């Protein structure tokens, strides 16, 4: 066994995008013939660390003392920490210094997008940084007519009834307040927000928005990936109103299911999503309303086909090949070194230009 996916404190973030990213890493490695485990393994010569909780840098230190290499995943930034939980804005500058300290415990840092790579470089992280998508399971998340039917039957929706979906924690940064407001403006459309956060952790305005949400908006809470896939397939538009992301795994999942998607026009999408081609980008809340209603009534052309192509280009297998190449370029040990190797220039481009391959 050559790769260990450090599991300490993962139970605290398993229901977040970080937890999903760890699952994807295991699948990526498997796709290119590299074994990985989330259990402590003496034979592991490289360890992946995905959180910035207090145990994580200690785990990196122990790995280095044992002569192992550390791949630190840069999922978090100061920017996406803001507007999340109670007190997050006050703590954000300290959080920035903390995550810089954590990431520099790695021999290599991997972050999902060119945008998040630029942020980490601006913090002064002094390690090789690569931009590599978290990827998406395009075999599981795919257009399925049967899954659309299952979702609509479960929630008593007619085939012609219009449905708008979003997914995320109950936090302001994810655009929950704006999503509630849009549902109120479109009473004839059904809205669903999948995901959950303990309401004791969020500000009063979030608790109030959920409590006073209009009757056409449903909060089913956190669900398993099967039910979430059904929801993607069963909706008519995926509206992701988040103000800040390092990538947005749920965006990739929606695109992989062939669903027309509207995202906020923020820097993270600049390098890989094209307005009107793979998604619709909204410059403000009014533009969101205009583009969502346009997709629902057909007056705005659907970008679903282009979005599906983007998702398939970020399949688990494709990202696994680049991940293995990063190991080779940086001299990180991994199993099955007899496997056919990708061109190291592919990974070099991910580091120097910040572009996905």
Report pLDDT for 353.
Answer: 54
Q: What confidence score (pLDDT) does residue 65 get? A: 95
Q: Which residues pair with 130 in a beta bridge?
A: 110
- Distance set, CA 82 to CA 2, 76, 95, 176, 249 (Å): 36, 11, 10, 14, 19
Q: What is the pLDDT of residue 26?
A: 93
Helix (H) or strand (E) holding 163: strand 163-167
Q: Is 34 helix (H, G, I), strand (E, B) or coil?
A: coil
How high is the pLDDT of residue 197?
94
Max CA pair span of the chain: 61
The mean pLDDT values, 10 residues at a time, for the chain of 357 residues are 82 79 93 88 89 94 95 96 88 95 97 97 97 97 96 96 97 97 98 96 95 98 96 98 96 98 98 97 98 98 98 97 95 64 56 51
Residues 205, 207, 210, 213, CA torsion sign:
negative
Three-state SS sequence of 179-224: HHHHHHHCCCCEEEEECCCCHHHCCHHHHHHHHCCCCCEEEEECCC
Domains detected in the chain: 3-135+315-352 (3.40.50), 145-313 (3.40.50.2000)
* DSSP 8-state class, residue 174: G
- The reported pLDDT for the residue numbered 12 is 73
Residue pair 296/236 in contact by the 8 Å Cβ criterion = yes
pLDDT at position 338 is 43
| Alpha carbons 260 and 239: distance in angstroms, whole number | 9
Is there a contact between 206 and 199 (Cβ–Cβ < 8 Å)?
A: yes
Residue 195: left if φ>0, alpha if ψ -120 to 50, beta else—which one? left
| 29-48 CB burial, b ≥16 within 10 A, e <16 | bebbebbbebeebeebbbbb
Q: Which residues contact 83 (CB under 8 A, 6 or more apart)?
A: 89, 171, 172, 173, 243, 244
Residues constituting the chain: 357
């Amino acid at each position: 066994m050559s790769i260990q996916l450090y599991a300490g404190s993962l139970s605290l973030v398993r229901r977040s995008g970080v937890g999903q990213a760890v699952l994807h890493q295991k699948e990526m490695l498997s796709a290119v013939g590299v074994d990985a485990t989330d259990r402590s393994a003496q034979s592991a010569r490289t360890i992946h660390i995905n959180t910035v909780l207090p145990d994580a840098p200690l785990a990196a230190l122990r790995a280095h003392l044992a002569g192992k290499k550390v791949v630190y995943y840069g999922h978090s930034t100061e920017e996406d920490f803001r507007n999340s939980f109670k007190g997050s804005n006050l703590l954000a500058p300290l959080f920035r210094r903390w995550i810089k300290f954590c990431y520099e415990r790695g021999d290599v840092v991997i972050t999902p997008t060119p945008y998040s790579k630029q942020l980490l470089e601006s913090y002064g992280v002094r390690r090789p940084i690569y931009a590599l998508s978290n990827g998406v399971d395009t075999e599981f998340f795919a257009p399925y007519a049967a899954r659309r039917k299952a979702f609509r039957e479960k929630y008593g929706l007619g085939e012609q009834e219009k449905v708008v979906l979003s997914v995320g924690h109950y936090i302001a940064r994810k655009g929950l307040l704006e999503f509630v407001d849009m549902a109120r403006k479109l009473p004839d459309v059904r809205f669903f927000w999948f995901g959950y956060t303990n309401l004791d952790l969020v500000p009063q305005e979030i608790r109030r928005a959920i409590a006073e949400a209009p009757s056409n908006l449903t909060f089913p809470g956190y669900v398993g990936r099967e039910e979430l896939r059904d929801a993607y397939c069963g909706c008519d538009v995926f509206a992701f109103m988040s103000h800040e992301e390092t990538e947005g795994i749920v965006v990739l999942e929606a695109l992989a299911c062939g669903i027309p998607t509207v995202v906020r026009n923020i820097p993270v999408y600049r390098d890989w999503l094209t307005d009107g081609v793979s998604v619709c980008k909204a410059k403000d809340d009014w533009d969101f309303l205009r583009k969502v209603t346009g997709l629902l009534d057909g007056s705005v052309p659907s970008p679903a086909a282009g979005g599906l192509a983007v998702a398939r280009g970020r399949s688990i297998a494709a990202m696994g090949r680049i991940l293995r190449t990063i190991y080779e370029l940086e001299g990180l040990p991994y199993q099955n070194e007899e496997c056919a190797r990708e061109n190291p220039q592919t990974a070099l481009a991910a580091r120097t230009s910040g572009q996905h391959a």
